[in-house]
Amino acid sequence: MTVSAVSRRTLGIPVDGTVVAAGRSSEGQTDVRHWREIVSVA
């Protein structure tokens, strides 16, 4: 899994290519339901 952490949020890409997110989402920052074909996070 590739992981990137920023202020109050963490994003990850498991080996299956989906995106997972956790953390503060007051404006939808961690809503990754529709993200597709992501190859990296930074």
| E strand residue ranges, 1-42 | 2-6, 9-13, 20-23
The pLDDT of residue 39: 79
Mean pLDDT by 10 residues, the chain (42 residues): 83 86 85 83 72
Name the residue ranges covered by the structural domains of the chain: 1-25
10: its two tokens: 């963490």
The pLDDT of residue 3: 83
The pLDDT of residue 5: 83
- Round to whole Å and give the CA distance between 24 and 37: 24
The pLDDT of residue 41: 72
CA distances from 4 to 13, 25, 42 (A): 9, 16, 6
The pLDDT of residue 34: 87
